[in-house]
Structure 1
Amino acid sequence: MVQPAERDSRGIVDPAAGLSRFSLDRFAPSGHVARFVDRYWIVTWDLPSGQSYPQHVLPHPVVNLIIEPAVAVAVGVQIGRTTKVLERSGRALGVMFRAGGFSPLAPGPMTRLTDRSAHLVDWLGADAGRWADQVRAAPDQREMVAAAERFLRARLPIEPHPCEDATALVDRIVADPSLRRVDQLAALAGRSERTLQRLFAAHVGVSPKWVVRRYRIYEAAEAVAHGQDVSWADLAADLGYADQAHLTREFSAAFGVPPQQYARRQREAAQ
């Protein structure tokens, strides 16, 4: 079920501040498209002249297709934090695939797309350019999403695809906060850790260890953003960090400030 951003802000750095400057609407895919696509999202903003807002994002381990008024891009899994500077007014449609879900459309192994982006047509062909024009011309959000559904429904496979094994395992990681080590995931999958490494490299683009750490850090950020306590020492040990300081440094690099300062900033923004 697609949750509104106010209830699920994973990946949005400083969500309270950001959602006061732009609107973010999410829509669920349908039919066989839902096996590969997590959601459609539409961002709309209208800032006063001369003002801008840098929205930082810590991306999920997924591909996003993004259509804006002046550009249409395909963005592979991004390892670090990304930033989009919002200015004036605008509207963008995004297609957020499920982990591994872009693999049937990918021009090569997913590891080749990690930390890369390209014009939409470079990865999806000339038809993607015409699709982008349809989205831009759509009179409302419903028609924007409908154009995305038509484009993807014709291209994503109806038959089972090998990427869906990886998708199911990432779903397990997301759903089970106690899953914090790759050996646990391997045991659940009934596969060796090496087999999981190859599966994730082919279809997700990053390692299973990286995915586990990303989602556990998401959860920690969500907890502090909502005023909950987090045992950083326990989390660091469970995730295999050398010590709490290493986890704190990774959190700081991802969210811009240490955990305690991030929590304070969220409380202040919500007031």
Structure 2
Amino acid sequence: MTTVTEPSRTDLARQTAIRTAAGTSQLPSRLVEPPEALRPWITDIGVIAHAPDGPRSVTHVPDAAVRLVVRTLPEGGSDVLAVGPRTRASYNTGKRLPLCLDLRIRPGAARPLLGAPAGDLVGRVVPLKELPGRSTARIDRALREWGHDAPVDVALAELAELLPPAFEQGAAADRDREALVRSAVSALSTRPGRPRPAPVPEVAHALAVSERQLRKLFTDGVGVSPKHFARIDRARQLLAGARDGAGAPVPWAGLAQATGYYDQSHMAAEFRALFGVAPSAFFSGRLPAGTPCPSRAGR
């Protein structure tokens, strides 16, 4: 039986490596831990600055997380968007905005926070004010007044004031579902030293639920099925491990083994399915032509 535990504190080094491999390091950015008051809801925060004469091409890699994105606008003020899970990479010509905050919502917390299941947000970008969560309208009003000249800490402090502590104001069922989803995410994630995630039946057994219940709870709380989450997470671990400590590329065969693929051809096929290009093309910068980055999208 697999022992399923709560995930540890966010591995910022891993997320930073993923951003670097995806090319987002072309934009001046940093990844920070959320303040204590935000940790029940938010796992990490990207602070991204867009220089007026900087690069316009931005790669968005597959990501099973729901995110809250606060974008400052050149004319002043901000807009606040809920961004659903991305099941495939997209290649966009980015807008030259002064500053963005990219907050990853903790697995299982999307419904209590936004009032909508993560499954309804897959592939979508939705203005926060359009979602039915109890705090979404207040959060939208507060963060839309934040400008790029104000310190990032001001926006985060505003957000911390508006969010309830943990799930104390929610139903006990919400807390139970969130804890189960987080445990399942931990078991299904690829990590150094554990390249193969636990099989879904084993995870369901360890959590004392049926496979059908696990799929339903996982899709509601994360947005994608457990198997699809494992595919995306393994591909993200591949991005994180693509270079060694000295910055040199890791050989493909060794990278495939370290990230739990059966062999190099299996890795290449899975990568192409999620990214639209072969690993060699992606890591050498031979990417599909960028399309305009939409402010909102349907499924």
Place the TM-score, normalised by the shorter chain, in its bin.
Answer: 0.7 to 0.9
In structure 2, which of residues 261, 268, 271 is the aligned counterpart of residue 251 of structure 1? 271
C-alpha distance in 2, partners of 1:118/1:29? 25
C-alpha distance in 2, partners of 1:28/1:53? 28
* 2:87 is equivalent to residue 82 of structure 1: no
* 2:132 is equivalent to residue 112 of structure 1: no
In structure 2, which of residues 139, 155, 176 is the aligned counterpart of residue 144 of structure 1? 155
The answer to whether the 8 A contact 1:179-1:185 is kept is no
Q: Which residue of 1 aligns with 2:138?
A: 127
1:245–1:13 Cα change, 3 Å: farther
* 2:164 is equivalent to residue 157 of structure 1: no
* 2:220 is equivalent to residue 209 of structure 1: no
* 2:21 is equivalent to residue 14 of structure 1: yes
* SS state at 2:158 partner: helix
CA apart distance, 1:93: 1.5
CA apart distance, 1:193: 1.7
Is 213-222 or 173-182 further displaced after alignment? 173-182
* 2:256 is equivalent to residue 231 of structure 1: yes
Give the gaps of 5 or more residues in structure 1.
238-242, 267-271
1:108–1:204 Cα change, 3 Å: same
CA apart distance, 1:113: 2.0
In structure 1, which of residues 58, 68, 73 is the aligned counterpart of residue 71 of structure 2? 68
For residues 53-111 of structure 1, the C-alpha deviation after alignment (integer angstroms, 9 at most, x for no partner) is 22112243121111112432111222222345335451011221012221213434332
For residues 156-212 of structure 1, the C-alpha deviation after alignment (integer angstroms, 9 at most, x for no partner) is 522651222102221233354331532232243233322211111222221111111
Alignment: residue pair count: 255
Q: TM-score with structure 1 length normalisation? A: 0.78
The amino acid that maps onto 2:105 is F
Identity %: 21
Q: Which residue of 2 aligns with 1:171?
A: 186
The answer to whether the 8 A contact 1:67-1:94 is kept is yes
The amino acid that maps onto 2:222 is V
1:134–1:40 Cα change, 3 Å: farther
In structure 2, which of residues 220, 223, 240 is the aligned counterpart of residue 222 of structure 1? 240
Q: Which residue of 2 aligns with 1:29?
A: 35
Q: TM-score with structure 2 length normalisation? A: 0.72
C-alpha distance in 2, partners of 1:30/1:171? 21
CA apart distance, 1:128: 2.9
User: Which of 1 and 2 has higher RCO (CA within 8 Å, sep 6+)?
Assistant: 2
Give the gaps of 5 or more residues in structure 2.
1-8, 74-78, 287-299
Q: Which residue of 2 aligns with 1:269?
A: none
For residues 16-42 of structure 1, the C-alpha deviation after alignment (integer angstroms, 9 at most, x for no partner) is x431332223232314x4233212221
The answer to whether the 8 A contact 2:62-2:86 is kept is yes
* SS state at 1:9 partner: helix
C-alpha distance in 2, partners of 1:42/1:253? 29
1:234–1:39 Cα change, 3 Å: closer
Relative to its length, the structure with more helix (as a share) is: 1
C-alpha distance in 2, partners of 1:193/1:29? 35
The answer to whether the 8 A contact 2:56-2:96 is kept is no
CA RMSD in angstroms comes to 3.1
